[in-house]
Structure 1
């Protein structure tokens, strides 16, 4: 207890036994402590020179002044958002209030404006609030604080406590570094994770690195795009794993990339409604999903185009950097390809792409074929004429004048590759079942099987440019007339697909002609397919006596060609003869894919195979017995068989630098198929209502442009993993 005769200032108190404290200084103050309060984790202080600590949840009654004019007023302090607020309650029933978030003195000034309006002075706020009292300060610091349970705290206080712990741990960590690491090591505390009851906290110690954050969001968008992860699926993942970036942030990143790429490679829409022609049912559908078919049909009439020049301007620098292109030899070999996916039996989804033959090692990758034209509709000459109009103009300019990219004038040699129907349409040529069926020579149907004539490429694009109907079968001007006919290269993939189809059809037709196409033979075929791990079925076409069967994929067709046991269907001699033909084609297909294959050697092998295909049956005229079995007739020769035998060797010779693998359309077909399956399903929104006819087309092209952005900007798909350490 203090002595009243002590030197001022001093405190007369027996705290905390007695809540009354008398303070003697320049003025006498009598205090009654109502609520002692505590010092929060982050304590504020009064101004200089004293810097008294300011408590939280503190209430005190203060009496000052001479007896006749003494006043007793209640003073409180509470923190809000780590800042103290000063509350003064006065009046007979403490019904009046003054609040300040500035300082004790500011609160005192506001009080005195009310209680002593005629005076311009005010009593010190520090003394009114009793902040100078050492006995209370000593007691607060001397006893442990009883903290409320976490669940009893407000959210603001919970966060304040977490921040206080964070700062203490950061100081402790920094003080401990020297005991474990060399001073030259850059040791940084980045995060702190802890749990209170079931509440998890993740504390970061550094300001967000905006560059790294942006890179990580771009990487996450990249993963979503290449793996086609729907936004809803990612939201569920992010809900499970809280460290993943939020989906809205990734979506915003995609939009930013779309806007950036939209400036560099704009998407231009094409109205094709005037070209829509109702055609008969298409051949075997590539896509049978009813939802996709419905949406593609709904989108018919709208297409999109992206400038091939803009695409080249964007991608060429990276090809130079990778060493694919050499500015000292400024020639780009540009391949144009087209593909039409049969979506159901009513409509096609048509895609036209460009690719650099110079990047031959990556031509099998769909992402190395850049889409310029895209539309759902009919694959016919009138529609293509409108759809490729801008592309034709740009290709003509590239062919004639080249293009300056980064101060280098690049020359262009152009090539074209697609399946037969697409190529014939672009050439303004007959259908494959016409009398004049070959785009490269003037053979007719009746001349198939004539071994006396060597059919070679005899047509010229320059002649067609002068007269589009100069050759029989050519009806309309070629669309890509800046590309030589010798650079209109047949697709190796479709050569294999269509010839294997024909060989299989001929086997089934022979079984039917022998009257053996019954349940027994069909079951034999199904069992043999099962041995090859191929799902195969026969079914009767409704309303007819005809049968249809499963259309095989490319790899399955090759497996059948190489491994199907024909002896299960034919006598040994017949099975061996047909198998010899099948093996011969398999060998030709392998040679076709080898860039080292001698074109003349291939020509001879193809001729031998062709002679076997057309081998005639030898019959003894006297006994009418078969002396030697034959195979097929000249009428069984298809356009693709003609091209294989007569022209493939020429294309191998002309394009020996690249090889015919470089003209395969498998990557383009895969690209088109995947886009249709994913994006036309993805566009079903609001209970299945198709919102915008151009939305799926736009999404496809935006998706492609984002992939360009990622690759051109070296956006990473992986980051170094932290060293995980488990402490028991």
Structure 2
């Protein structure tokens, strides 16, 4: 539909329904391009176009204009004197008049918000837009593209004419050129003003029919209203982003405060599902590493509604468990127990699990799970980890490297490859080791091939606390006559530092077949953590025994009546005890050092023996009874770990040093820490061993899934931190 509207308005005509179409612009004309007839040109008037256009003649002081409205195309003829100027506008977005509408300075035309128009001028397609800022100011934006394909733009917060002036100066490289902003932006077009008013009336009429949001009763009505609001905001957000020259930006979510109720709307249709899964992975990784149980996360989500819902975290956990179990299979097994009830009580007593829990926690192990174990595939574990260990600029593994695997164990119900709730004895360990011995033997003898068909050799090492190592190697316990795991020293000779014991088999103390038959004694390394703990235990016990032997003996010292108890202890044997402790600390620091040399290891061997000799220093008297050397402790106080400390540790330090290995790497501290974490998370009253009764899984199976998830987070490089910038904007608007 096309019609002409003379200016000023004489009649109001009905506005056709809004539509969207495209058309081709013709070059705007001025009086220099053609001869003006006495009659006004009609819609079908033909004119001859010349090349040059005088922009400086385009002023806004038009006495009369005619508009041909074929929305979104608008053809305008403006007259200045006897000259006629033709313009063609393509309305990209009509915009609307806000409540705090601003006006042009001289002509007092109303300035719309969200208005986008395209006009062909000076042989360029120019896009003009107007947007109101949050503080009430108006931004006039002009964008165009040159023939070389480069895009340019100018902005102005002053006026449309200022933006037009910048545009002209930019393309002509001359100052002082003028172009009416009213004409460039088409702010004087009456047909557009009519459409905006009718649009506002139509919107106002529609809104008048709507009930206030507070009067809506059903949730479906409220949700529909909110979705419509969010849809309108989202559709308008693109224009706002463009007006502020943002790129690679999208609206992710909205958060409203309606009647003291916070409502968040996520634009799920526009979100990347992959990014959403990665975010869920990050939350699950944080929960696993921080030992946050399912109920714990539910309580956090109840306090902070912006957190992801727990059911989504649970669904993601199941998804990851399934993915990883295909890579690293988990197999359940059962250890037959003649008396599971007695074994259950033995576990609690023997392992002293309550010491690992907080005061408000309680050990909770289902008695029907005693003897139920789970095992993961070690070969599957290696194949899964190899890509992560071989990538990067400084890979941990390189081709032709030998993979060194440290085997270990502990008496509690946790582990990495094989674990079961049960007592720590040879019978149970024999059944448990049958689940993994086949894979261990294959890896030891043949190695394995990864997914890239690269062959890897495997070398096993073994370390654990004394009891576990003795059970695995089939050696007598530490209180037996031939106690040592590495030599045939008799327990009555532990104190004698003049002997020389090497790392050889203990055939005299052998009582069973080793559960790791492919391992030689060379690869069974003492655990530096228990070495330190057990020696410190002896030193503390003897120190307190010295105090308790004769508590009043210190009060008989008459030298200084004002001496404190500590000073009296130091006066008697305190200096010798303090030196013994300090020397042991220095020796232990040497064990944990990675800057060892052959000379420092030899010096350590000498100092360690001297330390044991000083520890078991005997009392020496002259024939007349005069004491020439105070004794310190008894020879029988020398523990098995002190024997290992003086004889076998230096030998292992030397052998490991030759292979660029260090004794500090052979520690069970990581296993002990994992024990503590697993006991709290899986055997506490708030446990992950819950859910629907028929769908319950054993705690050992859940721990294996837990360990698999840690590998999933590692190989997928799950991000653990996210940043979000928060800006607080005052609700005051600058006038």
Measured against the shorter chain, the TM-score band is 0.5 to 0.7
The verdict on how the C-alpha distance between 1:298 and 1:566 changes in structure 2, with shifts beyond 3 A counting, is farther
Q: Deviations over 1:384-409 (max 9, x none)?
A: 11101132221111111111112111
User: Offset of 1:588 from its aligned partner?
Assistant: 1.0
| Contact 1:395 1:482 (8 Å CA) reproduced | no
- Which residue in the other structure is 2:354 paired with? 287
| Contact 1:337 1:417 (8 Å CA) reproduced | yes
User: Offset of 1:688 from its aligned partner?
Assistant: 12
Q: Equivalences for 1:673-684 in 2 at 5 Å?
A: 673-681=676-684
User: Offset of 1:297 from its aligned partner?
Assistant: 5.8
User: Offset of 1:283 from its aligned partner?
Assistant: 6.4
The verdict on how the C-alpha distance between 1:689 and 1:601 changes in structure 2, with shifts beyond 3 A counting, is farther
Q: Whole-Å Cα distance in 1 between the matches of residues 240 and 363 of structure 2?
A: 66
- Which residue in the other structure is 2:300 paired with? 237
Paired residue secondary structure (1:490): coil
When structure 1 is superposed on structure 2, of 187-196 and 584-593 the one drifting more is: 187-196
Whether 1:507 aligns to 2:552 is no
| Contact 2:497 2:609 (8 Å CA) reproduced | no
| Contact 2:256 2:262 (8 Å CA) reproduced | yes
| Contact 2:375 2:418 (8 Å CA) reproduced | yes
| Contact 1:264 1:310 (8 Å CA) reproduced | yes
Q: 1:449 aligns with which of 460, 473, 495?
A: 495
The verdict on how the C-alpha distance between 1:682 and 1:310 changes in structure 2, with shifts beyond 3 A counting, is farther
Q: 2:233 aligns with which of 151, 169, 182?
A: 169
Q: 1:405 aligns with which of 444, 450, 455?
A: 450
The verdict on how the C-alpha distance between 1:679 and 1:163 changes in structure 2, with shifts beyond 3 A counting, is closer
When structure 1 is superposed on structure 2, of 450-459 and 481-490 the one drifting more is: 450-459
Q: Whole-Å Cα distance in 2 between the matches of residues 686 and 152 of structure 1?
A: 46
User: Offset of 1:710 from its aligned partner?
Assistant: 1.2
Whether 1:724 aligns to 2:727 is yes
Q: Whole-Å Cα distance in 2 between the matches of residues 207 and 649 of structure 1?
A: 64
- Tell me, which stretches of 5 or more residues in structure 2 are unaligned? 1-198, 557-563
Q: Whole-Å Cα distance in 2 between the matches of residues 569 and 311 of structure 1?
A: 59
User: Offset of 1:686 from its aligned partner?
Assistant: 11
- Which residue in the other structure is 2:716 paired with? 713
Give the paired residue count: 510
- Tell me, which stretches of 5 or more residues in structure 1 are unaligned? 1-136, 342-348, 352-370, 460-469, 522-564
Q: Equivalences for 1:369-408 in 2 at 5 Å?
A: 371-406=416-451, 407-408=453-454
Q: Whole-Å Cα distance in 2 between the matches of residues 600 and 139 of structure 1?
A: 97
| Contact 1:276 1:301 (8 Å CA) reproduced | no
Q: Equivalences for 1:112-131 in 2 at 5 Å?
A: none
- Which residue in the other structure is 2:188 paired with? none
Q: Whole-Å Cα distance in 2 between the matches of residues 566 and 138 of structure 1?
A: 93
Q: Whole-Å Cα distance in 2 between the matches of residues 246 and 330 of structure 1?
A: 45
The verdict on how the C-alpha distance between 1:335 and 1:716 changes in structure 2, with shifts beyond 3 A counting, is same
The verdict on how the C-alpha distance between 1:396 and 1:169 changes in structure 2, with shifts beyond 3 A counting, is closer
User: Offset of 1:617 from its aligned partner?
Assistant: 1.1
Paired residue secondary structure (1:443): coil
| Contact 1:224 1:230 (8 Å CA) reproduced | yes
- Which residue in the other structure is 2:638 paired with? 637
The verdict on how the C-alpha distance between 1:332 and 1:148 changes in structure 2, with shifts beyond 3 A counting, is same
Q: Deviations over 1:220-275 (max 9, x none)?
A: 22122111222223223323333322111111110111111122222211211248
When structure 1 is superposed on structure 2, of 447-456 and 270-279 the one drifting more is: 270-279
The verdict on how the C-alpha distance between 1:269 and 1:160 changes in structure 2, with shifts beyond 3 A counting, is closer
Q: Whole-Å Cα distance in 2 between the matches of residues 477 and 336 of structure 1?
A: 18
Q: Whole-Å Cα distance in 2 between the matches of residues 179 and 376 of structure 1?
A: 65
TM normalised by structure 1 equals 0.64
The verdict on how the C-alpha distance between 1:566 and 1:717 changes in structure 2, with shifts beyond 3 A counting, is farther
Paired residue secondary structure (2:404): strand
- Which residue in the other structure is 1:547 paired with? none
The verdict on how the C-alpha distance between 1:189 and 1:269 changes in structure 2, with shifts beyond 3 A counting, is closer
User: Offset of 1:668 from its aligned partner?
Assistant: 0.6
| Contact 2:372 2:698 (8 Å CA) reproduced | no
Paired residue secondary structure (1:220): helix
Q: 2:612 aligns with which of 605, 610, 613?
A: 610
Q: 1:310 aligns with which of 376, 380, 396?
A: 380
| Contact 1:303 1:373 (8 Å CA) reproduced | yes
Q: Whole-Å Cα distance in 2 between the matches of residues 454 and 714 of structure 1?
A: 51
User: Offset of 1:488 from its aligned partner?
Assistant: 0.4
- Which residue in the other structure is 2:460 paired with? 414
User: Offset of 1:333 from its aligned partner?
Assistant: 0.7
Whether 1:480 aligns to 2:544 is no
User: Offset of 1:218 from its aligned partner?
Assistant: 1.7
Paired residue secondary structure (1:295): coil
Q: Whole-Å Cα distance in 2 between the matches of residues 238 and 311 of structure 1?
A: 34
The verdict on how the C-alpha distance between 1:380 and 1:574 changes in structure 2, with shifts beyond 3 A counting, is same
Q: 1:197 aligns with which of 255, 259, 276?
A: 259
Q: Deviations over 1:129-187 (max 9, x none)?
A: xxxxxxxx9997896735422232354443443344334434544334443216xx234
Q: Whole-Å Cα distance in 2 between the matches of residues 314 and 198 of structure 1?
A: 50
Q: Deviations over 1:547-606 (max 9, x none)?
A: xxxxxxxxxxxxxxxxxx994562514111121111111111111111223221110111
Q: Whole-Å Cα distance in 2 between the matches of residues 142 and 292 of structure 1?
A: 64
User: Offset of 1:678 from its aligned partner?
Assistant: 1.7
- Which residue in the other structure is 1:698 paired with? 701
- Which residue in the other structure is 1:337 paired with? 408
Q: Whole-Å Cα distance in 2 between the matches of residues 513 and 259 of structure 1?
A: 62
